[in-house]
Structures are given as structure tokens and as C-alpha cells.
């Protein structure tokens, strides 16, 4: 399977099947859940596992030469350099509380060239779906998105909202210092949201431009987000300003390049 249209159709199929499974478990009491070994607050549920397994089964059948990088199970090597990168429920802490601020992340990347090809955020409860395709405008429920902040040359970091999923994701002294410095500069600081922060940035929903600052990340946490953010004129890199790759752990996303430059300048001034 090499045709881009077919690959997009497959990505949507993965979103559909995982979404149906997740809906069955959402707001159901006493579903099977556990904390991952070696983690303080990383929860995995039966919904995570079943949704991921269903997606893997479809990929093995319809794109057997593609590899799979997954959150819950063993990775599968690629025969053509292409990998599907799966996070069945990004925001499981919200899912288990019955709050629909989570999403399924489905990325397709050529790992040999580090080119993210397709990215999907699927929110099955709210019936919201973002699709990013390399070099094309991002779609939200099949309509092109317009990020009103993308070309705002007057964007100021002092007027932006700084968002991170949790303050506990900043582990090293330098990460904590950078987060604290940006919290002092930005007009607002907010926590929570997981992938929804990036969806809101892409959609231009917020009343002010957004800066997302996160660390302690895994590839499946952000691979799908790259074409979605870039497809609306946003910027997403690591904290050094470099292109993200499968070894990156620090992620910076901004509503436009002007905010990104200001944020990078603050980061570079922290020793």
C-alpha cells in the first residue's frame, strides 16, 4: 500500500475502529486499569489495550510491510522504512475520570528520512477528528482549518497562553527553570489537556495565541501532531529549535513562527 489516498483511508479506518472500542468503555465504572511499571501516574486501561490491538491487527492485514511503534505493546519492525505510530488514548487520566479531553493519536512516518506523512487526532466521544497530511492544510471533520494566529506578526509572548499537561513533566533543573521563566513571561499558564492542547492550537479556538511546552515525552505522544500543527502554519520542534524525531523528549509548539522565535530566545538564555 503506497498510494497516499489509500494510506489516509487506512488512517481513518484505524480511527474508526479504535473509536468504537473506546466509546464502549467511556464512563463505565470499574473498568480494568493499572499503573504502568516504574511510573507514578501513567495509567493503562483495557480500552487502551483493546483499541491498540485492533489497530495493529488492521495494519498487519492491510499494510504488512509497514512497521508499528506503539504505546502498549511490542513494536514491529518495518520492511520499507514506514512506521505507524500509535497512542490509543492520549490522556488516559482524563478518560478514566469520564472527561472527554483525550484523543487517539495515529501517525505515519518515514523513519528513514524522518518525514511525518500523516497525523490524526481522533476524539470519538465529541466526534472530532483532525487530519494532518504532509504539505497540505490540516482538516477538522473534513473541512480545512484556519489558524487565525498563523500570520500574526504582532504576536507577543507576554500575551500568549503557556500550556503544559502537568508541571510534573519537567524533571531536570534546567527544564524546571525554563518552564518557570516562561510562566513568568506569558500572560496565562494552564495545565492539563494532553493532545487537546495541540488540537486547540491548530484550530485557533483560544482567545489568545498558544505556546505548548512539554517534556518527558515519547514518540507516540507527538508524532501524529507534527503534520497537524504544521498544516495550519504553526510550529512544532524540540526545545533547541530542531526538527522532532523518534528520540526527542522535549516538545515546543506555538501558534506561529513569531511566538516560536520569542520562546526559543527565552529557552536559550537558561543555562
87 is in an annotated binding site: yes
CA-to-CA dists, residue 137 to 22, 56, 118, angstroms: 28, 27, 12
By the 8 A CB rule, do 197 and 191 touch? no
Q: Which cell numbers hold the place of 108?
A: 505515519
Residues in the chain: 271
Torsion sign, CA atoms 228, 232, 236, 241: positive
| 3-class DSSP assignment, residue 76 | strand
Q: How far apart (Å, rounded) are the C-alpha atoms in residues 222 and 212?
A: 12
By the 8 A CB rule, do 163 and 259 touch? no
250 is in an annotated binding site: no
Nearest 5°: CA angle at 252, between 83 and 109?
Answer: 10
Give how far the C-alpha of residue 271 lies from the chain's centroid of Cα atoms, to the nearest Å.
28
71 is in an annotated binding site: yes
Which residues fall in the annotated binding site for Mg(2+)? 71, 87, 89-90, 221
Which residues fall in the annotated binding site? 71, 87, 89-90, 221
Amino acid at each position: 500500500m503506497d498510494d497516499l489516498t489509500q494510506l489516509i483511508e487506512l488512517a481513518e479506518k484505524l480511527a474508526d475502529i479504535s473509536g468504537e472500542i473506546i466509546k464502549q468503555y467511556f464512563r463505565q465504572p470499574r473498568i480494568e486499569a493499572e499503573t504502568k511499571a516504574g511510573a507514578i501516574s501513567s495509567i493503562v486501561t483495557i480500552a487502551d489495550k483493546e483499541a491498540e490491538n485492533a489497530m495493529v491487527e488492521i495494519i498487519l492485514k492491510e499494510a504488512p510491510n509497514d512497521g508499528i511503534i506503539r504505546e502498549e505493546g511490542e513494536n514491529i519492525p518495518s520492511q520499507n522504512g514506514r512506521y505507524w505510530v500509535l497512542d490509543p488514548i492520549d490522556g488516559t487520566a482524563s478518560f478514566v475520570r469520564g472527561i472527554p479531553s483525550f484523543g487517539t493519536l495515529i501517525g505515519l512516518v518515514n523513519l528513514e528520512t524522518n518525514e511525518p506523512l500523516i497525523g490524526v487526532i481522533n476524539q470519538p466521544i465529541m466526534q472530532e477528528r483532525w487530519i494532518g497530511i504532509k504539505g497540505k492544510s490540516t482538516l477538522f471533520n473534513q473541512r480545512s482549518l484556519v489558524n487565525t494566529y498563523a500570520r500574526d506578526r504582532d504576536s507577543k509572548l507576554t500575551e500568549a497562553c503557556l500550556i503544559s499537561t502537568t508541571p510534573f513533566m519537567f524533571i531536570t533543573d534546567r527544564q524546571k527553570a525554563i518552564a518557570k521563566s516562561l510562566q513568568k513571561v506569558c500572560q496565562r499558564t494552564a495545565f492539563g489537556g494532553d493532545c487537546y492542547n495541540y488540537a486547540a492550537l491548530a484550530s485557533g479556538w483560544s482567545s489568545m495565541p498558544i505556546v505548548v511546552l512539554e517534556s518527558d515525552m515519547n514518540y507516540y505522544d507527538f508524532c501524529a501532531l507534527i503534520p497537524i500543527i504544521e498544516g495550519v502554519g504553526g510550529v512544532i520542534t524540540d526545545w533547541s529549535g530542531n526538527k522532532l524525531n523518534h528520540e526527542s523528549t522535549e516538545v515546543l509548539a506555538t501558534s506561529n513562527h513569531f511566538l516560536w522565535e520569542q520562546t526559543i530566545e527565552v529557552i536559550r538564555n537558561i543555562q
